Structure 1
Amino acid sequence: MEKERIKELLHKYKKGLCTDAEKAWIESLYEALANPPSSDLTDEMIQADLAEVYQRIPALSKNKSFTLWPRIVAAAIFLLFVSIGFYFFKEKDPSQPLVQIVDKSKINPNDFAPGTNKALLTLADGSQIALDNAPDQKILDKGGIKITKNEDGLITYQINPGVRESKSNTLSTPKGGQYQVILSDGTKVWLNAASSLRYPTVFTGNERKVILNGEAYFEVAKNEKQPFKVVTDRQELLVLGTHFNINSYEDEPDVKTTLLEGSVKVSAFQTKQTILLKPGEQAALKRSGKLKVAQINAENAIAWKSGLFQFQGSGIQEALRQMARWYDITIEFEGAVPDIQLWGEVHRKANALEALEILSYFDLKYKILATGNTKKIIVIQ
């Protein structure tokens, strides 16, 4: 279906019927593919061009998920449009540039670099370890508790069998950081940017309880005799052994719990409402305290864990909140918030300027302000 729509557009170009925006888009795409366009396109040339495009972007022809690499912006935007089965163009006012950079001399692309594996580990005695600066391998071996770190951004707890005293530790990621931890029971947790997880070094009693702020993906080790609980400021999750994601950032309107495997019980503190989730379902806890369940593609909810921003009809505010946390930048709106919905994927290895350049093709207009330690993107109307 996508090929037919592209073919139709190429025929319009051949006949000189394209709008200025369509013509500019076609020409930028051909330029990115190092193949100059021609108004004398024949059917054979169009078929060859289609084949070249699909060969350059194989994920499109196989109808699989794709990644938007900003190295070739035109090709990336092309992929973003046609992969969802449509394309559209809007005339742009040439007198209103999409991007306004305030003081170009002060814009350093390195200031807008993507996040990395960095976190702060706070021990029970209040001492702190900056994990991005700590040497690999053993970072603590005391009282029968051993904590090790590897180069891939993972700490692991190993507890001697005789240890019964439980102490509280907290793993915190800043904006622009992420980290992983394997708890003493074998549970694996991926912590997204600007998040924290408080947990005991040893799980004692009749339950395993951790406290989350922000976003994390859990693969809980099964133990029917000791259920696992995840507590946020607005809800509690009860599991026996399962894979799930919780997004509980304070600046998000909903707390979203997405189940990939097993079953979980979600309980809202405010309304006492309780629901049981099945795989592929997402519970959204509203500010009113009401829980709503929807069937979704659960893999989209954990795209961040695989290094992707995943947009499925996402509003521009939601998308930019994700980027602000990952790139450690401030994003503000000047005037009304644009009514823009985004579809597709952008790789989190792209820097903020590259990611925003991609979003500008959805008529997102913004100013870049970088002065001293201030890194700010101002979205304008």
Structure 2
Amino acid sequence: MEIFNEKIVRMIRLYLSGAISEEERQELKFWVEESEGNRRFFEEMKEEGRFAEEFPEFCRIDMEKGWRRFERQIQRERYYLWRRVLKYVAVAVIPVMIGVAIWILNREEEIENRVISEVIEPGQVKATLVLPGGTTLALKGMKQEEIEVGEGLKAKRTSGGLVYDSGIDGKEEKLQYSVLKIPRGGEFHLTLSDGTSVMLNSATNLEYPVRFGKEERKVYLDGEAYFEVKKDSARPFYVEIEGMQVRVYGTSFNVNTRKGNDIQTVLVEGEVSIKLPHSTKEYMLSPGKLARFDRGSGKIEIKSVNVQQYVAWTKGIFTFEEESLEQIMNTLSLWYDVDVFYQTESVKHLHFSGHLGRYKEIQDILDAITEATGVKFTIKERIIIVTK
């Protein structure tokens, strides 16, 4: 399980670092034995070392050593407990165990049948490319090869995306535009002709020139994308969004237009500014800042944030911090290409935090949410029904 509360994380961190109290150790032991989901969370904590890179709270912990110590302690206590119990009830246990074994076999068969019929895989690398002349190419299961993307212009298809030829910018007066469309259940990596890297999330469109002009570099975004812009002091880089413009000075940042009525811009490194149409005012961002533009009121709010929460999706992790179940399910529906139906409207407003693996089957994530909140999910084809 990858969804958890602050207290559990703190106790795990203390235990694996050897600084946990006896009372906390007992509480943690009971929590691990409480459900298979809790034990699975421990296993994933041990296996997913990338958490230590992205989330500082997992750093400087000897995960393997601590896990082995924890397992040995639980196994010893179970061993002595079972010795005492079996001493008195060995005769009674035999028929009970036969019954349990039959139940387990039947249960495993039920689970296997359910999984076979209802597995929903995570998103994958796929996109549709609309060339300047209107020709459409499906970019999925790509082979290493070159394709023609404009008159005399080529790009290389790779296993993860599309890389445009470099060193060809600034030679053309009339720009030729392509549109890259990422469907629900997809993601894609694009390297523009100037060397700028763009990671595009599901349900995202990016319009861009196959090679930039002499004065500026400008792209048009609808959806979510993470940019690493190549520095070029002679030609500023702009990201145009409906109702807003981001000016880039050579930097790394994330833009998301799918947060309801808001547009969120988060700066990881460098410098960007936010500018509204018909206004000369620029709102400057420094690293670690988020600019939230409310399209309804036209106001911009800037605040400090943990940027990892907003860019972890590019590293294969969902992060939710006090988000509503409705917001979380909206994110999952885009990535897994499913629809969500709420039989109980009140559950939409439940708020909690969690870290979820982005490349897991959706059933694993739904099981984790169920164990953390009690909310239940039923999958019918590609529709998720939510009940309390």
Normalising TM by the smaller chain, what interval? 0.7 to 0.9
Q: Is the 8 A contact 1:280 1:297 kept in 2?
A: yes
The letter of the residue matching 2:361 is N
Change (3 A) 1:330 1:107: farther
Confirm whether residue 314 of structure 1 aligns to residue 342 of structure 2: no
Confirm whether residue 376 of structure 1 aligns to residue 383 of structure 2: yes
Q: Secondary structure at the match of 2:377?
A: strand
What does the per-residue CA deviation read over 1:273-313, in whole Å, with 9 as the maximum and x for residues that have no partner? 64111100001112322111110111221101001101222
Alignment match of 1:135 (pick from 134, 140, 143): 143
What's 1:345 paired with? 355
Q: Secondary structure at the match of 1:265?
A: strand
Alignment match of 1:192 (pick from 196, 201, 209): 201
What's 1:182 paired with? 191
- Which deviates more from structure 2 when the two are superposed, residues 161-170 or residues 301-310? 161-170
What does the per-residue CA deviation read over 1:330-350, in whole Å, with 9 as the maximum and x for residues that have no partner? 113222234433323111111
Q: Is the 8 A contact 1:340 1:362 kept in 2?
A: no
Q: Aligned residue pairs: how many?
A: 318
Change (3 A) 1:227 1:163: closer
Give distance in 1, aligned partners of 2:117 and 2:231.
45
What's 1:355 paired with? 365
The letter of the residue matching 1:28 is S
Q: Is the 8 A contact 1:122 1:171 kept in 2?
A: yes
What's 1:256 paired with? 264
Q: Secondary structure at the match of 2:140?
A: coil
- Which deviates more from structure 2 when the two are superposed, residues 334-343 or residues 117-126? 334-343
How far has the Cα of 1:153 moved from its partner?
2.8
Map residues 166-181 of structure 1 onto 2, 5 A cutoff.
166-181=175-190
What's 1:211 paired with? 220
Q: Is the 8 A contact 2:253 2:266 kept in 1?
A: yes
Q: Secondary structure at the match of 2:246?
A: strand
Change (3 A) 1:305 1:110: farther
Give distance in 2, aligned partners of 1:226 and 1:13.
56
What's 2:88 paired with? none
The letter of the residue matching 1:113 is E
Root-mean-square deviation (Å): 3.6
Name the TM-score, length of structure 1 as normaliser: 0.73
Structure 2: runs of 5+ lacking an equivalent: 1-9, 59-66, 68-111
Change (3 A) 1:30 1:370: closer
How far has the Cα of 1:58 moved from its partner?
7.7
Identity across matched positions, percent: 28
What's 1:277 paired with? 285
What's 2:154 paired with? 146
What does the per-residue CA deviation read over 1:249-283, in whole Å, with 9 as the maximum and x for residues that have no partner? 2x623211000111111123498764111100001
Change (3 A) 1:325 1:55: closer
Structure 1: runs of 5+ lacking an equivalent: 15-22, 34-49, 67-74, 76-103
Confirm whether residue 240 of structure 1 aligns to residue 249 of structure 2: yes
Change (3 A) 1:271 1:333: farther
The letter of the residue matching 1:317 is E
Q: Secondary structure at the match of 1:125?
A: coil
Alignment match of 1:117 (pick from 118, 122, 125): 125
How far has the Cα of 1:183 moved from its partner?
0.7
- Say which structure is richer in helix: 2
Confirm whether residue 220 of structure 1 aligns to residue 226 of structure 2: no
Q: Which has the higher Rg, Structure 1 or Structure 2?
A: 2
What's 1:298 paired with? 307
What does the per-residue CA deviation read over 1:228-253, in whole Å, with 9 as the maximum and x for residues that have no partner? 1101112110112111100012x623
